[in-house]
């Protein structure tokens, strides 16, 4: 199961439809303090988290904490964020070094890029 954590309901629902349309089981939630409990309960195969890549944002702190939690270390994390990220954010667009992640893609979502990264996390041997 893929867990999509995104605060924008329209983006979250669009991504869920995309994943389900490609044959994946997926559930959605917002990025909030309940996210860790949900991950521990559901034990997803992949977490896709929408974040504002600013160190002071609450969703950044939550996802960073989750990604660094050793109990969740075996769950791949894909980050998605707005395509335009100011230089002063302190985060490099394609390698957000402040958060451990297995991949990164922009919002608005490029379907091909997103699905390739999902396949690489769910089935690394697929050659996608």
Whether residue 92 is preceded by a cis peptide bond, meaning omega within 30 degrees of 0, is: no
Chain position carrying tokens 């667009």: 93
Whether residue 31 is predicted with pLDDT greater than 80 in this model: the reply is yes
Count how many domains the chain has. 1
Across the range 51-78, mean pLDDT stands at 77
Whether residue 108 is preceded by a cis peptide bond, meaning omega within 30 degrees of 0, is: yes
Give the CATH number of the domain where residue 97 resides: 3.40.50.2300
**Which domain range does residue 68 map to?**
2-126
pLDDT level of residue 70 (50, 70, 90 thresholds) = confident
Structure tokens at 40: 């521990």
Give residue 18's pLDDT: 96
Q: pTM score, two decimals?
A: 0.81
Vertex 18: Cα angle to 102 and 68 (nearest 5) = 25
């Amino acid at each position: 199961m893929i867990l999509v954590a995104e605060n924008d309901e329209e983006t979250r629902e669009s991504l869920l439809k995309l994943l389900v349309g490609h044959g994946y089981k997926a559930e959605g939630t917002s990025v909030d303090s309940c996210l860790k409990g949900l991950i521990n309960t559901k034990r997803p195969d992949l977490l896709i988290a929408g974040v504002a890549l600013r160190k002071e944002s609450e969703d950044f702190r939550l996802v960073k904490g989750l990604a660094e939690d050793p109990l969740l270390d075996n769950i791949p994390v894909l980050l998605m964020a707005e395509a335009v990220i100011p230089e002063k954010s302190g985060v490099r667009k394609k390698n957000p070094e402040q958060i451990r992640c297995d991949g990164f893609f922009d919002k608005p979502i490029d379907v091909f890029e997103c699905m390739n990264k999902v396949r690489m996390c769910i089935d690394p041997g697929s050659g996608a």
